[in-house]
Structure 1
Amino acid sequence: MVRRSAVPQGVQLDIGDLGTPLGAVSFVVLDLETTGTSATNSRITEVGAVRVRDGEVVEEFTTLVDPGILIPAEITLLTGITQSMVATAPPMEEVLPKVLAFLTAEAGSALVAHNAPFDVGFLKAACERHGVEWPAPPVVDTLRLARAVLPPGQTRNHRLGTLAAFFGSPVTPNHRALDDARATVTVLNGLIDRLTPLGVGSLEELRAVSKPPTRAQRAKRHLAEGLPERPGVYVFTDARGGDLYVGKSNNLRRRVASYFTAAENRQRIREMAGVVEGVTPIVCATELEASVRELRIIAERKPPYNRRSRNPERARWVTLTTETYPRLSVVSTVKDDGAPYIGPYGSASEAEQAKEALLHALPLRQCTHRLTVEGDGTVPCVLAQLGRCGAPCDGTEPLADYLAHAEAARTAMTGDPAVIVDAHTARISELAAHLRYEEAAALRDRLTAFLRGARRAQRLAAIAAVPHLVATRRGPTGWDTSVVRYGRLAAGAVLEPGMEPAAFLRALVATAETVEPAVGPLPSALPAETELILTWLDDPATRLVEIEGEWTCPLRAAEAHTEMTHWAYGRATAQ
């Protein structure tokens, strides 16, 4: 049955807000009674749910459920729910749609439960049994929150009954679903009341809470005061002005403030709070510009508390050398030598995997000495005896035949990788048929590494060949417009309502950075920056305004094979 009370008026969200303010969230506080603790073998006997908004109860739902199995005596003693009570109750297939409808009646609702994995596990299992899709709402676990917020010794334990009494709940939990849900409402409100002064003001921050903020964090909250609520980059600095950490956000003030709340649970960032003395904001016109500037600053300054993007120079590539008898090599730089390159890879080991994928399919030489003439007298290595190399070193394989293998490698790296994919999928199927799954998985990982690097290189080379491109996409305040030259963001601005589009475009293009083409197939920017731009351009909402040159990728490029490869492996190992 459903009980309704007055619904408070909604809260108008500001477009620059980071996350969903707690006052605007519809919390559905849920409790289940079950026949046991196993979501697989046990069944639900009662559902109780309370909708809460801005701390006030809006609506309630409760029903008994016929579990279709016997209720153990110890469960009846615990809950008071007997077999006769559920005999006339609706079965789960009738109750489940009503529960999910209550849960999703309002957009952006969050599910709350005490020891949430238990209740969520039972609901997911019920959805699976009855062929219903689980809506996957954001989940708030009051048990986890209580453990984070209440210090040891403040409460005897973190059981629902203990917490309900601690926060003064008018309802005592009694292992009946609705009463337990009502008690959980009081606990939720009490925890939020404790977290609000600590700077937790959004659903996203509430879900991220793991422990109270440190004293150093609380002492540095003032650093967010006066920062603009605009997209941009923020740089945390120490007492000497040295850079500590760089980040980006759609709302600088709110993001910086979140570092000094209980929602910030990264240990190194909590440590940084003890030495940070200032924040430098860099306002950006668009979100894309903020993302790009963040990457550039991190790569240039290498702040100690950043983990990612600090060392782009450590990237590795796989290339086919330009020797008379080309061979595969893992290198750290790309040259303008006409050789094909795939990558970049974040580690040498991943690049080696991609190299091994090529060698699995093509009998290229693996010796590293310079071979310039057929049959230079070198004694063939064991790979020739195994049939994995044609032994051009002693003249067994003519130069023309060897170069055919090298050309096949070039095609696989820069165009259609079918020869590599086909060789691997055939071997994976063979290994799977003999139940050699670990070897099949190793081959899959090699192929995945090769395709990942080939896809990245092909996409980067395509946009790096474009001298000038302008694209736009509707943003929060207008049309976010970007000028891209040779894969580098050369300018960004927002076409706001009332502006004359043609004049805006002329001014943006005229003031954009002059960019020269880079070496070889590389873009004139960090690969990570160009990939950010490509992701932005790939969005269906982005519109191409003007372009010079051609922006194309091979029809049967690596990207076309990536999804098929995972499907083929899954099919082979499932048979």
Structure 2
Amino acid sequence: MSTVRPLRPVWADVAPGTAAAPAGTAVQPTLDDVGTPLSDVTFVVVDLETTGGTPADCAITEIGAVKVRGGQVLGEFQTLVDPGGPVPPYIQVLTGITTSMLVGAPRIETVLPSFLEFAGDAVLVAHNAPFDVGFLKAAAARTGHPWPGNRVLDTVRLARRAVTRDEAPNHKLSTLAALFHATVTPNHRALSDARATVDVLHALLGRLGPLGVTHLEDLATATDPVPADVRRKRTLADGLPDAPGVYLFRGPNDEVLYVGTSTTSLRQRVRSYFTSAEKRRRMTEMVRIAHRVDPVVCATPLEARVRELRLIAEHSPRYNRRSRFPERMPWVRLTSEPYPRLSVVREVREEDGAAYIGPFGSTAAAQLALDALHESFPVRQCTRRLPLVAPAGATACVLAELGRCGAPCLGRQGPDAYREVVDRVRTAMTGDPAGVVAAHAERIAWLVGQERFEEAATVRDRLAAFLRGAARAQRVAPVARCPELVAARRTDDGGWELVLVRHGRLAGTARTDRLTDPRPVVAALQASGEHVAAPPAPSGAAHPEETDLLLAWLEQPGVRLVEVAGGWAMPVRSAVAVGDAVAAVGDAARQARGTDASPLVSDTLERPHLALVAPAPGTA
């Protein structure tokens, strides 16, 4: 099926013996009348061998070409070319063309006119056409022959549109020839490579046909990654500042379509959406309906990232995939009832005795962390609220019969004994996770010993989810409790980047040059900074991703704490101390899983987790 184009009415040419259209009647031409069908186009597929990679100081050693039309070979052209000097040894190894083979071969001055006559006005095709056509144009310029200006088609660019990374790891000629089962195997000789390129060309055109590439005119845009309507929108970047900040693409009715950030130049970042650097289909779709870009200049790159998060949360743009609803991020809570239990919740509340870990990116991740705690400690899993004194006639669940719950619902486990279990759960959630790590390490070691690697991987994922949630809460809680924190970092020009954080939220930022005393700026920042109310611990007063950004900035080398109100500390033996190590173990295990190397899987899954039961003193 052909692409749809606007067609203007034309008068039909009436052949003798046929009925003519009434005068003044417009006739819709057929699709074949729109342009030249690819079946009628003559292609000359060319390949060169050279003495190096640049035409400025290298020369052609061989030309091979195949002329085709409608899938039929019309002719072939092949000749060695005397480059006027020796062939480098590595080129001889690559192509098999030696210096002695070229003795007596014609020079390019003789070969080029013959090739241009063979090509005529056909479309020149080459795999990585800029290389081959570049050498031919340079040879024409040196020998005084005018370049005829043939259309040029690059099969590499065609392949980038028609062949996905799932099908082929790259777009080399040898890879594509194998993918399409070419009749000739490329071997770095000009004619063989040209023949292989013919098969690749036909296969690519066959794939692009259903996409509307059926005529010669379609090839003009088939390899252009930037549609014309998108390219015309590049004027939206005109006038944007060359500074860090946030940009908002707006569509009809001033709807915010997309929010992005640039840590260096807003103008350059927005311009990239109208070039081949932008390959996301959703972004191309967004640009097509956008009619304005609003910039928000920021003092520092950190402020730009934070404002981006806040604007995404405020406007919920349909083309942003990042978390837009922080209030929906789940937590794992240890309740504050007489016999506490664990649950997944969406809100952190001020409760005496309650403990939280998270927030998690999904409910599934929160459930994995909850399962890790249930597997490590015999805490009750029933959902009803239990009184201190068990009522008469109460019945126990299956877990009590299996010995995985003390059955406080029956009075078998009193408040004091149950409190000991709850204290261990709270310690694992808010401080040292050794109890959870030890239980899971033991389980993983046993499963690996039984060669049950898939189950071991599931246990590993459960442990990793718990450690990520606990580490996040343990990192966020201290800064969320901190009423005010001022930090500074040297900039590349010798000045200072100043940051004011209140309860885990960016309350202000400023920048000074190297000639300005930063202390008055710090005082002004504190006086004019945003007022932030204390949130319920361990949640911060900002989007969780904003607090993560601030913590990542604060933990950079070279950041100095100027003032800290109320203290900022974290347990030494915490989930943060082991979370990164377990994550690294998980990555290695994923690579090993599915292979036949059982000892590798065993070592990866077992030993590091056992070592994490007791983190080294002094780690943070």
TM-score, L = length of structure 1:
0.66
Whether 2:405 is the aligned partner of 1:389: answer: yes
> What are the Cα deviations for residues 127-165 of structure 1, in whole angstroms up to 9, with x where unaligned?
xxxxxxxxxxxxxxx9754534899xxxxxx8769xxxx
Q: Cα RMSD over matched residues?
A: 3.7
Distance 1:210 1:545 in 2: 55
Q: Using a 3 Å threshold, how does the CA distance of structure 1 residues 397 and 81 change in structure 2: closer, same or farther?
A: farther
Unaligned runs of 5+ in 2: 1-49, 59-86, 102-126, 130-153, 164-170, 175-185, 194-221, 590-598, 604-620
Q: SS where residue 371 of structure 1 aligns?
A: coil
Q: Which has the larger radius of gyration?
A: 2
Whether 2:365 is the aligned partner of 1:350: answer: yes
Asked if structure 1 preserves the Cα contact closer than 8 Å seen for 2:496 and 2:518, the reply is no
Could you tell me which of 415, 423, 427 is aligned with 2:431?
Answer: 415
Could you tell me which of 237, 240, 245 is aligned with 1:227?
Answer: 240
Measured after TM superposition, the shift of residue 497 of structure 1 is: 2.6
Q: Using a 3 Å threshold, how does the CA distance of structure 1 residues 331 and 211 change in structure 2: closer, same or farther?
A: farther
Could you tell me which of 456, 459, 472 is aligned with 2:472?
Answer: 456
Measured after TM superposition, the shift of residue 80 of structure 1 is: 2.4
Distance 1:56 1:225 in 2: 37
User: What pairs up with 1:4-153 in 2 under 5 angstroms?
Assistant: 50=53, 63-64=89-90, 79-80=95-96, 145=157, 147-148=159-160
Distance 1:176 1:509 in 2: 72
Q: SS where residue 322 of structure 1 aligns?
A: coil
Q: Using a 3 Å threshold, how does the CA distance of structure 1 residues 410 and 150 change in structure 2: closer, same or farther?
A: closer
Equivalent position of 2:310 in the other structure: 296
- One-letter identity of the residue aligned with 1:427: R
> What are the Cα deviations for residues 13-56 of structure 1, in whole angstroms up to 9, with x where unaligned?
xxxxxxxxxxxxxxxxxxxxxxxxxxxxxxxxxx9975x8xx97
Q: SS where residue 443 of structure 1 aligns?
A: helix
Distance 2:419 2:574 in 1: 22
Could you tell me which of 543, 555, 563 is aligned with 1:538?
Answer: 555
- One-letter identity of the residue aligned with 1:517: A
Measured after TM superposition, the shift of residue 483 of structure 1 is: 0.8
User: What pairs up with 1:463-542 in 2 under 5 angstroms?
Assistant: 463-477=479-493, 478-542=495-559
Measured after TM superposition, the shift of residue 485 of structure 1 is: 1.0
Asked if structure 2 preserves the Cα contact closer than 8 Å seen for 1:363 and 1:389, the reply is yes
Distance 1:65 1:219 in 2: 44
> What are the Cα deviations for residues 410-451 of structure 1, in whole angstroms up to 9, with x where unaligned?
000000010000000011011001101111100000000000
Q: Using a 3 Å threshold, how does the CA distance of structure 1 residues 473 and 56 change in structure 2: closer, same or farther?
A: farther
Equivalent position of 2:299 in the other structure: 285
Asked if structure 1 preserves the Cα contact closer than 8 Å seen for 2:331 and 2:366, the reply is yes
Distance 1:348 1:525 in 2: 20
Q: Using a 3 Å threshold, how does the CA distance of structure 1 residues 210 and 545 change in structure 2: closer, same or farther?
A: farther
> What are the Cα deviations for residues 223-254 of structure 1, in whole angstroms up to 9, with x where unaligned?
00010010000000013211110000021001
Measured after TM superposition, the shift of residue 523 of structure 1 is: 1.3
Q: SS where residue 449 of structure 1 aligns?
A: helix
Q: Using a 3 Å threshold, how does the CA distance of structure 1 residues 540 and 143 change in structure 2: closer, same or farther?
A: farther
User: What pairs up with 1:266-277 in 2 under 5 angstroms?
Assistant: 266-277=280-291
> What are the Cα deviations for residues 229-285 of structure 1, in whole angstroms up to 9, with x where unaligned?
100000000132111100000210011111111211111111112210001000000
Equivalent position of 1:360 in the other structure: 375
Distance 2:251 2:321 in 1: 18
Asked if structure 2 preserves the Cα contact closer than 8 Å seen for 1:462 and 1:552, the reply is yes
Bigger Cα displacement from structure 2, 555-564 vs 327-336: 555-564
Asked if structure 2 preserves the Cα contact closer than 8 Å seen for 1:356 and 1:446, the reply is yes
Asked if structure 2 preserves the Cα contact closer than 8 Å seen for 1:238 and 1:276, the reply is yes
Could you tell me which of 246, 257, 272 is aligned with 1:244?
Answer: 257
- One-letter identity of the residue aligned with 2:250: T
User: What pairs up with 1:426-437 in 2 under 5 angstroms?
Assistant: 426-437=442-453
Distance 1:401 1:572 in 2: 42
Q: SS where residue 576 of structure 2 aligns?
A: helix
Distance 2:524 2:545 in 1: 28
> What are the Cα deviations for residues 435-473 of structure 1, in whole angstroms up to 9, with x where unaligned?
011111000000000000000001010111111111122
Asked if structure 2 preserves the Cα contact closer than 8 Å seen for 1:210 and 1:265, the reply is no
Unaligned runs of 5+ in 1: 1-46, 67-75, 86-112, 116-141, 152-157, 162-172, 181-208
Measured after TM superposition, the shift of residue 176 of structure 1 is: 7.3
Equivalent position of 1:215 in the other structure: 228
Equivalent position of 1:313 in the other structure: 327
Distance 1:221 1:149 in 2: 22
- One-letter identity of the residue aligned with 1:226: G
Distance 2:414 2:90 in 1: 81
Whether 2:349 is the aligned partner of 1:335: answer: yes
Asked if structure 2 preserves the Cα contact closer than 8 Å seen for 1:470 and 1:483, the reply is yes
- One-letter identity of the residue aligned with 2:376: A
Distance 2:88 2:233 in 1: 46
Bigger Cα displacement from structure 2, 482-491 vs 472-481: 472-481
TM-score, L = length of structure 2:
0.62
Distance 2:258 2:225 in 1: 22
Q: Using a 3 Å threshold, how does the CA distance of structure 1 residues 538 and 544 change in structure 2: closer, same or farther?
A: same
Whether 2:461 is the aligned partner of 1:445: answer: yes
Whether 2:418 is the aligned partner of 1:369: answer: no
Measured after TM superposition, the shift of residue 384 of structure 1 is: 1.1
Asked if structure 1 preserves the Cα contact closer than 8 Å seen for 2:449 and 2:602, the reply is no
Which 4+ stretches in 1 moved above 6 angstroms?
55-58, 158-161
- One-letter identity of the residue aligned with 2:96: G
Distance 1:355 1:81 in 2: 67
Equivalent pairs counted in the alignment come to: 418
